[in-house]
Amino acid sequence: MSLYLYRLFIFLYTTGIKIAAIWNPKARFWIKGRKEFPSSDADLHPGKRVWMHCASLGEFEQGRPVLEQLKKEQPGLQIILTFFSSSGYEVCKNYPGADHVFYLPSDSPQNAKKFIENINPDFVLWVKYEYWYFYLRELKRRNIPVFLVSGIFLPNQPFFKWYGGLWKKMLGFFDHLFVQNVPSKIALEKIGFITNVSVSGDTRFDRVITIAENFEPIDIIQKFCSGHQVIVAGSTWEEDEEELIHFVKANPSVKFIIAPHNVDSENLKDVKKEFKGAIYFSELTEAFATAAHIVIIDNVGMLSRLYKYGTITYVGGGFTASGVHNVLEAAVYGKPVIYGPEYEKYVEAKELVYRNSGISIQNALELETELKRLLEDKDEINRLGEISKNYVYTRSGASKKIVDYIYEKRLLTN
């Protein structure tokens, strides 16, 4: 891709969002949020400053362990957090660990210069993916170190294609690339990135372990689950819900917690219609908790705790082109994890399948077979759950490697 085509893409994308904002609330948030621009360096208190950019909520959760370890060790460190998506920003705009949270303005030479000048970071953490040329170029021009956190590189990405010159140039703006696995490192070496690449692992392992070890009970859910086998289905799409419907109807003695990926009111109404007798979490009272059979989670931010209550867990997205969602959130609690067939892009999902504690199903019939098999065999549930948990714990430590490197480069010293 040439720089001209890149500029054209940015223009067309931004124009499309402005048009969509006429009817789409998320697009309106995207446009409105970008009107809030950090005014100047004078508005930020003195001291060391780190900027972390995330595409959305998932990437924030991935970068969060690094930020929180830095903040714990350096309480005076200022943290500036930016998001591309409205879903990430809206959930995290009040995140107490950051001094400032912004939308990242659209990528242009003018916006990049003004934004970076105004926040004036000492170093930058760019999480997993999403590469914006003018921001990265401006950081390089100012000699501000930029590190990629938990990068993952696959042969079908533009970096490795004949037309990927601009993408390779963007990689060259990074001072160091921390990647999740050896294949990513090998792929980068083949296109000339040799000395500035490290296999650190995936920081999401550290994040889910932190959540599990600091678990905060949800009392009303505890009451709902008490004395029953429970299936927790998280981040579900319509395709996942279709696979679950028959089993839910046929098993009234089992309790079900369903957390849809999309929690807008229209989708929640559709999900409630599919699962007769279901009740929203926001409506769940002490009186309803015992009698209810199905709870639909109508909020964002609770799912990572809900998986602990499952006898078996189901993670959605595996029947969509984008693929399965975060299976680690369930595995860390020592649970068997079931998901659809689209998981090949996700190393952790593949590795759980290899260990048999991740179970991939092709259709509703296979799902029912696996659920029945497990619900009738408590020992098997425990065995597979232990495999899941051990897998997560043996892969912790990526955040420490990145933080150690930052100290090694003396980026937190005056």
DSSP string, 314-338: EE--TTSTT----THHHHTTS--EE
Per-residue pLDDT, 46:
74
Contact 337, 315 (CB under 8 A): yes
Instruction: Calculate the average pLDDT of the chain.
Output: 93
The structural domains of the chain, with segments of one domain joined by +, span 3-201+397-408, 217-393
Block residue for tokens 């430590």: 397
Per residue in 111-159, pLDDT tens? 999 999 999 999 999 999 889 999 999 999 999 999 999 999 988 899 9
pLDDT at 33 over 80: no
Per-residue pLDDT, 362:
97
Distance CA 217, CA 215 (A): 6
187 confidence band (pLDDT: 50, 70, 90): very high
User: Average of pLDDT values for 170-190?
Assistant: 96
Length of the chain: 414
For 35-70, the DSSP string reads T-----GGGS-SS-EEEEEESSHHHHHHHHHHHHHH
Per-residue pLDDT, 153:
94
pLDDT at 212 over 90: yes
Per residue in 332-359, pLDDT tens? 999 999 999 999 989 999 999 999 999 9
Distance CA 295, CA 34 (A): 36
Helices and strands (H, E) in the chain, number of each type: 19, 14
CATH of 217-393, one of 3.20.20.70, 3.40.50.2000, 2.20.28.120, 3.40.50.300: 3.40.50.2000
42 confidence band (pLDDT: 50, 70, 90): very low
> Which CATH number does 3-201+397-408 carry?
3.40.50.11720
pLDDT at 414 over 70: no
Per-residue pLDDT, 149:
97
Q: How many CA atoms lie within 13 A of 366 on its CB side?
A: 10
Q: Is 342 helix (H, G, I), strand (E, B) or coil?
A: coil
**Between 325 and 28, where is the model more confident?**
325
40 confidence band (pLDDT: 50, 70, 90): low
Two domains, one topology: 3-201+397-408 and 217-393: yes
9 confidence band (pLDDT: 50, 70, 90): confident
Per residue in 263-304, pLDDT tens? 999 999 999 999 999 999 999 998 888 889 999 999 988 999
Q: Name the pTM for this structure.
A: 0.89
Mutual angle of helices 378-393 and 364-375, in 10-degree steps: 100
